[in-house]
Structure 1
Amino acid sequence: MSSPNLRPTGRRWAPLAITAGLAVGATVVLRHVNPYAGNSPLPGCPLYALTGLYCPGCGSTRCLYSLVHFDLPGAMAMNPLLVISLPFLLLMLLHMAGWRPRALDPLMRVLAAPMFWLVVLVGYAVLRNLPWMPFVLLSPITR
């Protein structure tokens, strides 16, 4: 149900505002909770725990922890796809909110296609589980 008091522009900016709020919350948590610690309250990947296979999100918590602590090499070692995707995800949120520079139209058409993300995520999941170089560089490094 939509609220009669919520204007259309508010609805457009809501995903960006919610994401910003979640990002602030995650930043606060990751500034104080170390996912590398053995007694960390942050959960691990259930798929990895059950199968020993890395999903596209494996290492994301440690990646974001490293980014929050300004450790770009550490973040890239945990989940390079997430690091590379963050600016594009921000662009997609801004596009949803109504910020649409013409120069970005071709890029936004690609990023808005669900098939693009399906291919990227499934391909990344397969490649990061291959046991030889250079694909082993895509798996999260255990510290």
Structure 2
Amino acid sequence: MPAAIDTTTPTRSAPGWRGPAMLLTIVAGALLLRQADPNAPGSLLPPCAFEWLTGLYCPGCGATRALHALAHGDPARALAMNPLLVLSLPAIALMLARVAGWLPASWQPLTWRLSDARPWAVVIIAYAITRNLPWAPFSWLAPGGIH
């Protein structure tokens, strides 16, 4: 009879290729965003299909433009494009570092809480609704809402 597996504590596997692959992907994305301007007509980067179909902003609308602004060192413009994404980047970085195996064990409880999808779902749905309301301060959440 095989031994019982303790599922109460997460096992930590060797990061292997995940960390370098994620880092390479992030660097490649940053280089692409340094070169391709999503604000330019006919850009290599596509516009939001949800906005095109519905006329409403999805939670990700403005994310490419926000990351483009960050790649160019303009955090104020990035916040104007997609404040939720910009404010979430530290949490996203921590979760990616956990997946890559780059965090000490003492950080694991925090990253496990951050990776719980339920609070993120509530925040993202609320953000999607409020950024489409036509009056201030909610209209400031739309891409380019605060100049």
Kept after mapping to 1: 8 A contact 2:98/2:108: no
Q: Which has the higher helix share?
A: 1
Ranges of 4+ aligned residues in structure 1 off by more than 6 Å: none
Deviation of 1:98 after TM superposition, in Å, equals 5.6
Output aligned runs, 1:34-53, within 5 Å.
34-53=37-56
Q: Does 1:32 align with 2:35?
A: yes
Q: Distance in 1 between matches of 2:53 and 2:132?
A: 15
TM-score with structure 2 setting the length: 0.81
Match of 1:66 in 2: 69
Output aligned runs, 1:1-143, within 5 Å.
8-11=13-16, 14=18, 16-96=19-99, 97=101, 99-100=103-104, 102=106, 105=109, 107-141=110-144
Kept after mapping to 2: 8 A contact 1:33/1:40: yes
Kept after mapping to 2: 8 A contact 1:129/1:136: yes
How much identity, in percent, do the aligned residues show? 42
CA shift digits 1:7-44 (9 cap, x unpaired): x4134x61x33322221111111111111111212100
Kept after mapping to 2: 8 A contact 1:77/1:138: yes
CA shift digits 1:54-108 (9 cap, x unpaired): 1111001110110000001100000011111111111112223262453673x43
Larger Rg computed on CA atoms: 2
Q: Distance in 1 between matches of 2:78 and 2:92?
A: 17
Q: RMSD of the alignment, in Å?
A: 2.0
TM-score with structure 1 setting the length: 0.83
Aligned length: 133
Gaps of 5+ in 2: 1-12
